[in-house]
Structure 1
Amino acid sequence: MYDKAVSAWLECIAGEAHWSPLGNYTKYKNGLVYSNLIKAILLVTIPVLHYTIGINVWYVISMLFITALFTQFTYPIESTILPIIVGQDNIIEANSYLQTIREAMDIAFLALAGIIITFVGTIPAISITAICILLVSISYAFFNFDQPSVNKEKSSSIKADSRVYFLDLKAGFNYIKDSLIPKMIFSIIFINIAMVIMTTNLPAFSLMKSNGVEAAYGFYLASMSIGIMIGTIITPRLKQINFGKLIIVAFIGSGIMWMGTATLPLIPSTILFSAGAISIGILNLLIFSAIQKQVETAYIGRVVTLITSAPALGMPLGSLIGGFLGETFTPALAVMICSISMIIFSVYWLSSSVLRKLPKIDSVNLFKDKIEA
């Protein structure tokens, strides 16, 4: 039961919706320190109760879900303070290093987590996680950077706080509505739905490709992480290429390679699956770097919220379509549809003169370029 709860926790952490601009209402350093400290305390209660009075699985699920929510709270803060710490000229390189480390740690620690849970159990694994998060909180306490102004207005009710929150989100939308960002968000929503259609069927697809070997699912997940990591590593070397042409070529390549993933045997299928994921690492890094570089500090959290939460709205639709396709036809069809969607994504960028003609990322002006159909 605990294993299922931990799996649910990982799904929550993997979610794309974030809580900013809640982070705008606290000092960024305090938000990072105290949110991680709270997560550590919440996790510690699980082994403490387990070894004393006993614990219910629903309590475990609740605590893991709450800690996952706090993770979503800190992400926009991290995105906001990165330009402050590294400077505008180093954003792409800094994002590349951070994302590379994240992907590498995902690969290493997911494997390590499996080993720990197998040999020492789930509860000790949660205890180790709590200790690691506590160390993160202590590390953030030593951070030193200029703190942007914080919204210190106080309100008298939860209703008033909620109204202010949604007004802040609306202000973030108004800030970007005449920029290139909405066009990019539309593209990302489309790709996200296609990715969910595929990933919904990925467990069944991996079983089909491997003739029932469950470990194949892990191979596909690892190959995707490796592909994204490669994309983040090479992106700083590609930033001199025109952004529009780079994305068009990269996603056409991904579409073709994922067609091979759908049709070829297991080993070449996983290799092409990894190669196709490289474009995702490139797109994520360049778009977020451009936003961090050009959006005013006060609005970064709000824009990050919009650009990550909007695609998440398409996840239920993607899951529904993916489930229907996998049940009615074959899981390979879902992978093929995702590959075709990558090519359609490229055609959309190719058909838009604004997106097609985007210069190298350092020269892209998200807010002053004339937006044409």
Structure 2
Amino acid sequence: MKKINPFILERNFLILIAGVFINGLGNGIYSVAGMLLVLKLSGSVLYSGFAFFAITSAGALSFLIAPLANYAKYKNSLVYSNLIKAVILLTIPLLHYTIGLHVWYVISLLFIIALFTQYTYPIESTILPVIVGKDNVIDANSYLQTIREAMDIAFIAGAGIIITIIGTVPAISITAGCLLLVSLSYAFFNFKQPAISGEKSQSVRSAVHIYYIDLRAGFHYIRNSLVPKMIFSIIFVNIAMIIMTTNLPAFSLIKGNGTEAIYGFYLASMSLGIMTGTMITPKIKHFDFGKLIIFSYVGTGILWLGTAILPLAASMVLFGMGAISIGVLNILVFSSIQKQVETTFIGRVITLITSAASLGMPAGALIGGVLGETFAPEIPVMICGVSMIIFSIFWLCSSVLRQLPAIDNVKLFNRTQETH
């Protein structure tokens, strides 16, 4: 019988797991209810585009927000941030049952909540080594990530059913209650708090300046490598997907004849597909990387065209199957970077990729909203499917990308390339 790692039973780690679990429940309900509420208040897919634009814009600003966490005690940041988010969300049912809700108010709150999430999420990763010790970080991360992925699938699917039964506004009240419980749980942390920087006046300006210096150095490091082509690939795929997911609430209501639970099922299907992709990647990594991406994304394109055209059950199955390639691409690209990029540049290169990908998503959300308002919601889903096929053709037409060997043998950098 395998012995349980001691850190799993450590008080602070159990508190963190409890917070992650409760947050998973609340976020599952919130991710479905928030978008459905915007669609219900506005009656327009265009406003779904505005909502996704607000949420993804907060993600694009993460490089400015996350460093601020270094200027407050981590425990206090987690407790008060979750408490503030809960209070903000409670204003939705308060206004709904009194003077009424306006769609722009809800979109504004989605943006503010997303900003707070950008602030708190890195803190949970930062405190993990403090709680479990550096020797246990990999095991602890794997443990938490498995819990997060499993809960995403279960809670998002369950959220659709809950919302169908009680409605969107009461469901958001449940999310607020979950955040209050998370805030209360984190108040019991007793790990050693880090020292706080006394140079608060330099906080934002210094962080932004350092960020841009690192970003420029990272760009110089990768400019003659294959990484820019991979960045373009991720940006293209992300924009195509956000065009589709902006229309997913309306698309789900059409497929499900107005049943709100279907939206949660589609989101859960995508999460299951991406998780499957991450799980099978070690089994297929020996295939030529170029050919693997070309064939898998042609398959994704065809599957998502079927998602748009076929009836509900088949549509949902094909939707999840199409998402498998997303998980595969993510793991292979980031694994190759972690293996071949010098340790001092890994953070900069990954920041460059994630920042570039995030900056494209708000534009994709607006394009998706306009397309969904102009055409039926099935059309943007079909456009995403066609985009995946175009993405495959781009790789096929590039001799460098088409001929890439197995990921372990891919050389991102020329041996003669200088590093600075």
Smaller-chain TM-score bracket = 0.7 to 0.9
Counterparts of 2:223 and 2:211 in 1: how far apart (Å)?
Answer: 18
Could you say which residue in structure 1 is the equivalent of 2:357? 311
Q: Which residue of 2 aligns with 1:256?
A: 302
Q: Is the Cα contact below 8 Å between 1:258 and 1:339 reproduced in 2? A: yes
Residues 291, 126 of structure 1: CA spacing in aligned structure 2 closer, same or farther, 3 A cutoff? farther
Partner AA of 1:318 in structure 2: G
Shift of 1:38: 4.4
Partner of 1:314, secondary structure, is: helix
Alignment correspondent of 1:19: 62
Q: Tell me the equivalent position of 1:128.
A: 178
Q: CA deviation at 1:164?
A: 3.2
Alignment-derived partner of residue 147 in structure 1: none
How much has 1:61 moved relative to structure 2? 8.4
Report how many aligned residue pairs link the two structures: 359
Find 1:7's aligned residue among 25, 34, 45: 34
RMSD: 4.7
Q: Quick one: structure 1 residues 22 and 248, their matched pair in 2 at CA, closer, same or farther if it must change by over 3 Å?
A: same
Higher mean alpha-carbon deviation, 153-162 vs 190-199, is at 153-162
Unmatched tracts of structure 1, length 5 or more: 144-150
After superposition, residues 96-245 of structure 1 pair within 5 angstroms as 101-111=147-157, 115=162, 118=166, 122-123=172-173, 125-132=175-182, 135=185, 141=191, 159=205, 161-245=207-291
SS of equivalent residue, structure 2 residue 251: helix
Cα distance in structure 1, aligned partners of 2:371 and 2:217? 39
**Separation of aligned partners in 1, 2:330 and 2:293:** 11
Contact 1:358 1:364 in 2 (8 A): yes
CA deviations over 1:137-183 (Å, ceiling 9, x no partner): 9779499xxxxxxx999975854553333222222222322222211
Aligned partner letter, 2:60: A
CA distance in 2, matches of 1:60, 1:140: 36
Report how far residue 35 of structure 1 moved.
4.5
Amino acid at match of 2:350: V
Task: Check conservation: 1:43, 1:63, Cα contact below 8 A.
Answer: no
Q: TM-score, normalised by structure 1?
A: 0.73
Q: Quick one: structure 1 residues 37 and 357, their matched pair in 2 at CA, closer, same or farther if it must change by over 3 Å?
A: farther
CA distance 1:153–1:296, shift in 2 (3 Å): farther
Alignment partners' CA distance in 1, 2:289 and 2:89: 49
Q: 2-side partners of 1:266 and 1:165: how far apart?
A: 46
Which residue in 2 is equivalent to 1:266? Answer: 312
Alignment check: 8 A CA contact 1:248 1:349 kept: yes
> What SS does structure 2 have at the residue aligned with 1:40?
helix
Deviation for aligned residue 1:214 = 3.2
1:279 aligns with 2:322: no
Task: Calculate the TM-score normalised by the size of structure 2.
Answer: 0.66
Q: Which moved more, 1:71-80 or 1:307-316?
A: 71-80
Separation in 2, partners of 1:328, 1:60: 23
Tell me: CA distance 1:321–1:263, structure 2 relative to 1, closer, same or farther (3 Å).
Answer: same
- After TM superposition, the structure 1 stretch with the greater mean CA deviation from structure 2, 37-46 or 176-185, is 37-46
The structure-2 alpha-carbon separation of the partners of 1:138 and 1:295, relative to structure 1 and needing over 3 Å to count, comes to farther
Retained in 2: the 8 A contact 1:13–1:71?
Answer: no
Given that residues 181 and 366 in structure 1 are in contact (C-alpha distance below 8 angstroms), is that contact kept between their aligned partners in structure 2?
A: yes
CA distance, structure 2, for counterparts of residue 315 and residue 226 of structure 1: 22
Identical amino acids, percent of aligned pairs: 56
Q: Is the 8 A contact 1:21 1:305 kept in 2?
A: no
Match of 2:372 among 326, 331, 335: 326
Would you say 1:42 and 2:73 are equivalent positions? no
Residue correspondence of structure 1 range 89-100 to structure 2 within 5 A: none
Aligned partners of 1:255 and 1:342 also within 8 Å: yes
Partner of 2:408: 362
Equivalent pair of 2:159/2:264 in contact (CA under 8 Å): no
Q: Distance in 1 between matches of 2:128 and 2:337?
A: 12
1:63 is displaced (CA, Å) by 8.1
